[in-house]
């Protein structure tokens, strides 16, 4: 597990740097790929060639309905797949699509998913992670992936990726930018007994984890990330 903290005078600048400066391949996905490489070993297999990385709209049949997203396929497949989880903005944003495209340029199948669809505005409903786990299984069954391992990259609320990794052992690596690991402590939120937060499932996480967080973040204090780091390291 690796945790990196970024210093800066303005948290919006820090977050903007992490989400928006992805025009150069070395910047847009290098930090994410660090953790993915730790865990993902590609088994040699026959490959298929694709001419480009054009995104395609995709829908996954999951319990209670469908989960939509935008998928990018690299030039050579089968390839490991990375699921990109957006912030609490309720839906995939252009920055998420660009991030997924950047990962495809690095050789991964990448899918930015609308994972809050059907959640009724409940940001930590257990069904969210159960449906995401179903998406992971469906992706692994696609010919572009061919059963390869899965990574998850999440922004803020996208820390759901840690919950998914606790549910599904096919998730081998998780990268979280300025994650919401413990809203109880960070925001004084109260949840029902059925709700699990990332901080609650550290004992069940078997994936490699990379956390990136601004040291001066005034929305989610950096101490929340440090507490998550300590919990993961103390297993």
CATH class of the domain whose range is 2-40+49-233: alpha beta
β-pair partners for 81: 109, 150
Show the DSSP H helices in 106-178 as ranges: 126-140, 160-167
Contact of 154 with 147, CB cutoff 8 Å: no
Mean predicted confidence (pLDDT) in 148-170: 95
What is the separation of C-alpha 224 from the centre of its chain, rounded to a whole number of angstroms? 18
What is the 8-class DSSP label of residue 43? P
Mean predicted confidence (pLDDT) in 61-85: 95
Mean predicted confidence (pLDDT) in 182-197: 88
Q: Taking the domains of the chain in order of start, what are their residue ranges? A: 2-40+49-233
Mean predicted confidence (pLDDT) in 123-141: 97
Q: How confident is residue 165, by pLDDT bands cut at 50, 70 and 90?
A: very high
Q: Please, what is the average pLDDT of the chain?
A: 81
Q: How confident is residue 220, by pLDDT bands cut at 50, 70 and 90?
A: confident
Cis peptide before 78, with omega less than 30 degrees from 0?
Answer: yes
* pLDDT at residue 83, as a whole number: 97
Mean predicted confidence (pLDDT) in 197-218: 91
Task: Choose from 19-33, 48-62, 105-119 the range with maximum mean pLDDT.
Answer: 105-119
Contact of 2 with 35, CB cutoff 8 Å: yes
Contacts of the segment 196-199: beta carbons below 8 A, 24+ positions apart: 196/124, 196/126, 196/129, 196/163, 197/124, 197/163, 198/159, 198/160, 198/162, 198/163, 198/228, 199/227, 199/228, 199/231
Mean predicted confidence (pLDDT) in 53-69: 90
- Summarised one tens digit per residue, pLDDT across range 48-57 is 333 345 789 9
Residue 78, φ and ψ in degrees, nearest 5: -65, 155
CA distances from 180 to 83, 135, 139, 176, 225 (A): 17, 22, 25, 9, 8
* pLDDT at residue 233, as a whole number: 87
């Amino acid at each position: 597990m690796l945790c990196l903290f970024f210093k800066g005078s303005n948290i919006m600048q820090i977050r903007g740097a992490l989400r928006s400066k992805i025009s150069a391949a070395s910047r847009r996905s290098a930090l994410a790929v660090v953790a993915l490489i730790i865990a993902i070993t590609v088994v040699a297999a026959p490959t298929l060639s694709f001419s480009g990385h054009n995104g395609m709209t995709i829908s996954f049949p999951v319990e209670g309905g469908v989960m939509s997203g935008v998928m990018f396929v690299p030039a050579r497949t089968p390839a490991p797949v990375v699921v990109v989880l957006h912030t609490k903005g309720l839906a995939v944003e252009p920055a998420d699509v660009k991030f997924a495209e950047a990962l495809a340029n690095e050789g991964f199948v990448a899918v930015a998913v609308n994972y809050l669809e059907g959640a009724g505005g409940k940001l930590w409903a257990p069904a969210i992670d159960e449906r995401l786990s179903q998406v992971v299984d469906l992706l692994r069954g696609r010919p572009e992936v061919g059963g390869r391992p899965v990574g998850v990259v999440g922004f803020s609320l996208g820390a759901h990726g840690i919950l998914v990794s606790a549910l599904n052992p096919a998730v081998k690596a998780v990268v979280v930018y300025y994650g919401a690991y413990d809203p109880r402590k960070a925001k004084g939120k109260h949840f029902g007994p059925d709700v699990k937060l990332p901080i609650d499932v550290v004992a069940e996480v078997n994936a490699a984890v990379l956390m990136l967080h601004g040291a001066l973040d005034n929305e989610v204090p950096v101490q929340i990330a440090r507490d998550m780091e300590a919990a993961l390291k103390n297993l």
